[in-house]
Amino acid sequence: MSQAEPFLDHLTSCSPCYQDFLRLQADGRRRRVRMIFAVAASVLIVVGVATWAMLRRHNNEQIARAVVDLRDRSFARGTEPPPNETPIEIGRDVSRLDIYLPLGASDGAYDLRVTTAKGDLLFSGTAVATVEAGITSLRVDPNLSSVSPGLYVLQLRKIGSEWTSYPLRIG
């Protein structure tokens, strides 16, 4: 203020200089307001992204996963599972199913379905089998939430081949 004192008399008496002063003062206020909005927007974006990431991670943790290991089971061809075979057990809430195929299975596209003992279709899908560390596996995302608990049949086939059936208990 002490440096501006010699100019104050001129500023208050010269209309063009006073108008320039008011314009500069308004520009300064606008810059401060824009800076405050920019900081607030940045904070909201960071909070939004952090919340989204947290919710996404939480939802991924809620995915019910199950592993169906068929490696020690044989390829019994047909739509009827062998009568004395122990059923595979999975929950109704399973939304990710990793199926380890029997020894000798090859990679490629497979059909999969879950049926009642009478053959009524409950779920069907297609998945691609991959081989990792000597294990041929399929990853399927079934929706079995509306299926009543009980005994069913899991059927698999390499596309173009015959169905292989396994007893399945959904709990």
Burial of 125 (0-12, 13-18, 19+ CB in 10 A): middle
Count: domains in the chain: 2
The pLDDT, as a whole number, for residue 59 is 60
Judge if 31 and 75 occupy the same domain: no
Residue 96: which residues within 8 A CB-CB, separation 6 or more? 63, 64, 65, 66, 139, 140, 141
Q: Is the predicted pLDDT of residue 56 greater than 60, yes or no?
A: yes
Judge if 153 and 131 occupy the same domain: yes
Q: Is the predicted pLDDT of residue 139 greater than 60, yes or no?
A: yes
For the stretch 62-84, pLDDT in tens is 567 888 999 887 655 555 666 67
For residue 75, give the CATH number of its domain: 2.60.40
Helix ranges restricted to H, the chain: 5-13, 15-61
Range of the domain at 111: 64-170
The model carries a pTM of 0.59
Q: Is the predicted pLDDT of residue 161 greater than 80, yes or no?
A: yes
Judge if 47 and 101 occupy the same domain: no
